[in-house]
Amino acid sequence: MTELLISFLWQLLRFAVFLAVTCLVLFPFYYAVLSAGERTEDRTVGGLFWKAMFWLVVALIVLIAVFPFYYAVLSSFETGTQLFEPNVLPENFSTQNYDTVLGARSFVRSVLNSVFIAGVTVIAALFLAVTASYALARVRFRGRGLLLMTILGVSMFPQIAVLSGLFELINWLGVYNTPWALIISYTIFTLPFTVWVLTTFMRDLPVEIEEAAIVDGATPWIVISKVFLPLLWPALVTTGLLAFIGAWNEFLFALTFTVSETQRTVPVAIALLSGASSQEIPWGPIMAASVLVTVPLIVLVLVFQRKIVAGLTAGGVKG
């Protein structure tokens, strides 16, 4: 018992030291960001110094965030022993890894499976979320707040906690080893977030618009589809894109609910890429496949970044 207590106190002391050192290292950068914000119009040497420090912090954050993807792209063009030689700048380019990946019919089929599954998941999740958010935001009934908190609480369960129960449900429905097994699973886990965001967004829409439509004889479905839907585009783009990314990158359910090679999704196909022997890990093709499936997501985020920010900040400001 004494040894256990001493070990616990030692680990606690190590954590405290690590936390203190981290704070000491990060505090100058934090102070630089604050000082740059307060001295936007300061043209003195001190103001210019803190502004330079601010941009240095921004460059450091961008470097840390972008470098792993840059190194993956760099490794995807290398073959043989070049993969194990650390280098920051490219020495020579080879498309052999991309030829290997694209030449495999199973990988192309997995990409098509992922596109179909993610697309149907987004459509189903948005349809159910729009109708549910209208009821939660506009219809007054007892227990509305509790229901909304319950929906949000469901999203806090880890996937592994519900895997066995979901597996039994998939078997009972008879959709095991089909795309519909993944569509059902992804929709269940996507709905809480989409319902929460759309409910928050819909609460901020003017009540007068809905009342005017009702006076004109509009049914609830007409109000949702003809009145609210055009105003929900920022939130729809945000939730739809995040739901697509979640379904595109999901691995655990895809590995559990699919068996045949023709039903696999991209993450599983990449994880199961094999080399010339069972002991060889084909890092080059893995990097090439990762780049191929990541670039479209980056393009989508860059194209819709303004609507993503507008959708995520919906309901954050009153009035």
- Judgement on whether residues 65 and 147 belong to the same structural domain of the protein: no
Are 131 and 216 in a shared domain? Answer: yes
Token readout for 58 is 């921004």
Query: Is 90 exceeded by the pLDDT of residue 120?
Result: yes
* H helices present in 77-178, as ranges: 96-103, 105-138, 144-154, 159-173
Please indicate, yes or no, whether residues 183 and 256 belong to a single structural domain of this protein. Answer: yes
Write the pLDDT tens digit of every residue in 267-297: 888 888 776 566 677 888 888 888 888 888 8
Pairwise pLDDT comparison (259 vs 157), residue with the higher score = 259
Please state which of the ranges 39-48, 67-76, 237-246 shows the lowest mean pLDDT: 39-48
**Residue 44, pLDDT score:** 67
Is the predicted pLDDT of residue 194 greater than 80, yes or no?
A: yes
Do 207 and 250 fall into the same domain? yes
Residue 29 in this model has a pLDDT that exceeds 70:
no
Same domain, 13 and 54: yes
Does residue 227 sit within a domain?
yes
Average pLDDT, the chain: 80
Tell me how far apart the alpha carbons of residues 288 and 71 are, in angstroms, rounded to a whole number: 11
Q: Which domain covers residue 63, as residue numbers?
A: 2-76
Q: Is residue 173 part of a domain?
A: yes
* Residue 86 lies inside a defined structural domain of this protein: no
Q: What whole-number distance in Å separates Cα of residue 78 and Cα of residue 85?
A: 10
Mean pLDDT (whole number) for 149-164? 81
Residues 114 and 68 in one domain: no
In a domain, 191, yes or no: yes
| CATH code for the domain in which residue 235 is found | 1.10.3720.10
* Domain-embedded: residue 89: no
The 10s digit of each residue's pLDDT in 50-85 is 677 777 777 888 888 888 888 888 888 877 777 777
What is the structure's pLDDT at 33?
59
Instruction: Establish if 236 belongs to a structural domain.
Output: yes
Least confident of 80-89, 191-200, 207-216: 80-89
In a domain, 222, yes or no: yes
pLDDT classification of 121: cutoffs 50, 70, 90: very high
- Mark whether 154 and 242 lie in a shared domain: yes
The answer to whether residues 130 and 45 belong to one domain is no
Total of domains in the chain: 2
pLDDT of residue 182: 92
Residue finishing a domain among 61, 76, 91: 76
Instruction: Examine the domain organization and report whether 215 and 71 are in the same domain.
Output: no
In a domain, 94, yes or no: no
Residue 319: pLDDT band by 50, 70, 90 thresholds? very low
Residue 285 CA to its chain's centroid (Å): 24
Q: What's the pLDDT score for residue 25?
A: 67
Do 69 and 133 belong together in one domain? no
| 191 and 287 together in one domain | yes
CB 119 within 8 A of CB 179: no
Cα–Cα distance between 100 and 297 in angstroms, integer? 22
Q: Is the pLDDT score of 92 beyond 80? A: no
What was the pLDDT predicted at 311?
Answer: 59
- At 298 the pLDDT is 83
Residues 128, 33, single domain; the answer is no
